[in-house]
């Protein structure tokens, strides 16, 4: 199939409307996939008068050509497959102008072959479907028609379709040839996908689904097996064969999809929506990160396994991995809500949440910068704490009667000295950076590159500044219990020594307080560069 024209300007050489121009706004008509041409306003969209297909304004403004292949799943107490015979007798056979070269794979919906495009002399992937029992013309016609609709998608994360056709009773698609593997195959070999990669893949898939939604298309079969690795960290979404047009009264009412990924509302007869795809994406994302489904499918029949989605609860890992932000669990919980209303309203909203937990590339800060920044911070803290420490020393180590008479005020002064760390921690909790980190463009990140939780950051700052903050307390303890004071001082000095030694000696330049808080110090300029 050649690149399809969606928007057509019917004007003759003199600039006046030619025949057919009355179908649309002066100089502009929309050619629907059903063949009907009708007037359309690019700013508001329109509806085909024959097939009732909704055309959104975003789709018109980005009218292009491309998409993927077809698969099918139906469950009417049994599963009906489109399938191809197992023999290799299709080798060298022509499907249109595509000569079958070799088999790449097979599934319940048919088989995929590498084929030579004899017209353009390039290799493509050809997917061929055959119903082993009977061929229903209306079903095949509907699949081909939806494939034509999907061929208008043009997105870097969607497999490009080149041709849609039939060879006798066998529908086939010619599409972009990708070597893969699929994320399902990647999971089979690696067990899990690294969190950073999984989130980046999810962002790409959500972006592709947002583009499809602009055309009113819902994929309806999101799963790792339909996500192909295309190199360079890119994922491409494949197999739109189950895709539906939103609000299309002609769509079948049977439950379609893959049992492990079917949204619960579809089981109850609700219409398909973008939230249905979000549910499947949530299952997929959980599986990529943790190497398993979020809950176990139970039952002996397909329908029983599907109905697990109605009541099953998510089982997160009992011990949460340090490399994964807690916010990830909140996103998964929302995507897998039983009620589609509680999921994300739009893909823009979902993408914003995914990008918020997407790790970014960071450069670990050097020892010299950190040492200078730490010294500056300690000096500033000591400047504010010094008056309290000096007052305690003056009251407890002086022989002046007028001052020693006020030794009872020592614990009060020590208590008020806590104002300094309280103010400092309050500033850190609100997202401020310390003076030293601000001057040298340093920031604190989690192991995955995200900003630490506020509680985590406060704990880190308590440990990092322990020597400066607990000095007044050490002076107070020394005045009443010298032995306990020595223990206290040795503990502070030892902690400071171990903390500094780890930065100098261990790989990753992480201090003790960073290991305890699962954090690290990075250059703040990296995130700014990524945003440009």
* Distance in angstroms (rounded) separating the CA atoms of residues 150 and 215: 8
Catalytic residue check, 339:
no
Peptide bond into 181 cis (omega under 30): yes
> How far is it, in rounded angstroms, from Cα 208 to Cα 202?
10
Stretch among 101-110, 137-146, 453-462, 507-516 having the lowest mean pLDDT: 137-146
Report the C-alpha dihedral over residues 392, 397, 403, 407, rounded to 10 degrees.
Answer: 60
CA 221 and chain centroid, separation: 17
DSSP-H helix ranges across 151-267: 183-190, 195-214, 264-267
* Domain extent listing, the chain: 1-63, 94-175, 183-356, 367-530
Mean pLDDT of the chain: 76
Give 183-356's CATH code, choosing from 3.40.50.360, 3.40.50.720, 1.10.10.10, 1.10.510.10.
Answer: 1.10.510.10
Pick left, alpha or beta for residue 52 (phi over 0 → left; psi -120 to 50 → alpha; otherwise beta).
left
What letter would DSSP give residue 249?
A: T
137 vs 178: which has the higher pLDDT? 178
Question: Which tens digit of pLDDT belongs to each residue from 252-281?
Answer: 555 556 788 989 998 888 888 899 999 999
* Percentages of the chain per state (helix, strand, coil), in multiples of 5: 45, 15, 40
C-alpha 258 chain-centroid distance: 21
- Radius of gyration of the chain from its Cα atoms, rounded to whole angstroms: 32
Q: Are strands 29-31 and 37-38 parallel, antiparallel or unpaired?
A: antiparallel
Res 100: pLDDT: 92
Each residue of 289-300: pLDDT tens digit?
Answer: 999 999 988 877
d(CA 448, CA 359): 6
Question: What is the predicted pLDDT for the residue at 98?
Answer: 94
SS3 of 301-363: the string is CHHHHHHHHHCCCCCCCCCCCCCCCCHHHHHHHHHCCCCHHHCCCCHHHHHHHHHHCCCCCCC
From 9-23, 125-139, 400-414, the region with the lowest mean pLDDT: 9-23
Side-chain-facing half-sphere of 475: CA atoms under 13 Å = 25
- Listed residue (367, 210, 229) closest to 281, CA to CA: 210
Q: Which two tokens stand for residue 466?
A: 């322990």
- CA-CA distance, 396 to 169, in Å (whole number)? 100
Percent of the chain whose pLDDT exceeds 90: 22
Instruction: Give me the pLDDT at residue 224, please.
Output: 93
Region 489-505 average pLDDT: 83
* pLDDT at 29 exceeding the cut of 70: no
CB 446 within 8 A of CB 518: yes
Length of the chain: 532
pLDDT digits (tens, 9 = 90+) for 521-532: 888 764 444 333
What does the pLDDT average to over 462-467? Answer: 83
Nearest of 184, 251, 191 to residue 218 by alpha carbon = 251
471-480 vs 367-397: helix crossing angle, rounded to 10: 30
Paired residues of 66 in beta bridges:
152
pLDDT tens for 169-204 read 778 888 888 877 899 999 999 999 999 899 999 999
What's the distance, Cα to Cα, between the start and end of the chain in Å? 38
Question: In the predicted model, what is the mean pLDDT of residues 390-400?
Answer: 72
Indicate if 183-356 has the same CATH topology as 94-175: no
pLDDT digits (tens, 9 = 90+) for 311-335: 999 999 999 887 788 889 999 999 9
Burial class (CB in 10 A: 0-12, 13-18, 19+), 147: buried
The residue from 197, 221, 277, 514 that is catalytic is 221
Q: Please give the CATH topology (third level) of the domain spanning 94-175.
A: Phosphorylase Kinase; domain 1 (3.30.200)
């Amino acid at each position: 199939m050649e690149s399809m024209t969606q928007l057509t300007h019917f004007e003759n050489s003199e600039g006046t409307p030619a025949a057919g121009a009355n179908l649309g706004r002066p100089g502009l008509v929309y050619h629907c996939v059903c063949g009907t041409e009708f007037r359309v306003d690019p700013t508001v969209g329109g509806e085909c008068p024959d097939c009732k297909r909704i055309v959104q304004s975003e789709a018109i403004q980005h009218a292009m050509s491309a998409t993927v292949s077809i698969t099918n799943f139906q469950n009417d107490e049994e599963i009906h497959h489109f399938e191809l015979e197992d023999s290799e007798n299709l080798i060298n056979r022509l499907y249109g102008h595509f000569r079958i070269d070799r088999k790449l794979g097979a599934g319940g919906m048919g088989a995929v072959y590498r084929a030579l495009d004899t017209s353009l002399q390039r290799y493509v992937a050809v997917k061929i479907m055959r119903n082993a029992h009977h061929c229903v013309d209306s079903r095949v016609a509907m699949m081909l028609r939806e494939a034509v609709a999907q061929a208008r998608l043009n997105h870097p994360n969607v497999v490009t379709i080149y041709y849609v056709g039939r060879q006798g009773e066998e529908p086939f698609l010619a599409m972009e040839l990708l070597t893969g593997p699929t994320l399902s195959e990647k999971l089979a070999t690696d067990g899990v996908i690294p969190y950073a990669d999984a989130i980046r893949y999810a962002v790409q898939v959500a972006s592709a689904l947002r583009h499809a939604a602009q055309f009113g298309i819902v994929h309806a079969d999101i799963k790792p097996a339909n996500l192909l690795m295309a190199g360079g960290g890119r994922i491409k979404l494949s197999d739109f064969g189950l895709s539906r047009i939103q609000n299309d009264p002609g769509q079948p009412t049977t439950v379609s999809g893959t049992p492990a990924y079917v949204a619960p509302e579809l089981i109850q007869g609700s219409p398909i929506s973008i939230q249905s795809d979000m549910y499947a994406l949530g299952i997929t994302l959980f599986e990529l990160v943790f190497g398993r489904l979020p809950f176990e499918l139970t039952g002996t029949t397909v329908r029983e396994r599907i109905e697990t989605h109605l009541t099953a609860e998510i089982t997160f890992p009992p011990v949460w991995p340090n490399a994964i932000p807690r916010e990830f669990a909140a996103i998964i919980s929302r995507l897998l809500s039983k009620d589609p209303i509680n999921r994300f309203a739009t893909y823009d909203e979902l993408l914003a949440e995914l990008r918020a937990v997407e790790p970014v590339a960071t450069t670990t800060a050097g020892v010299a910068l950190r040492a200078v920044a730490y010294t500056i911070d300690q000096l500033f803290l000591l400047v504010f704490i010094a008056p309290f420490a000096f007052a305690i020393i003056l009251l407890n180590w002086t022989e002046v009667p007028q001052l020693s008479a006020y030794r009872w005020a020592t614990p009060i002064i020590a208590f008020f000295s806590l104002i300094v760390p309280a103010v400092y921690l309050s500033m850190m909790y609100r997202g401020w950076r310390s003076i030293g980190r601000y001057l040298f463009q340093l920031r604190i990140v989690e192991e995955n590159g995200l900003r630490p939780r506020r509680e985590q950051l406060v704990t880190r700052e308590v440990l990092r500044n322990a020597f400066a903050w607990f000095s007044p307390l050490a002076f107070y303890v020394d005045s009443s219990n010298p032995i306990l004071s020595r223990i206290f001082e040795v503990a502070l000095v030892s902690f400071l020594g171990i903390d500094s030694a780890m930065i100098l000696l261990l790989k990753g330049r992480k201090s003790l307080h960073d290991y305890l808080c699962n954090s690290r110090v990075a250059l703040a300029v990296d995130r700014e560069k990524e945003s440009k």
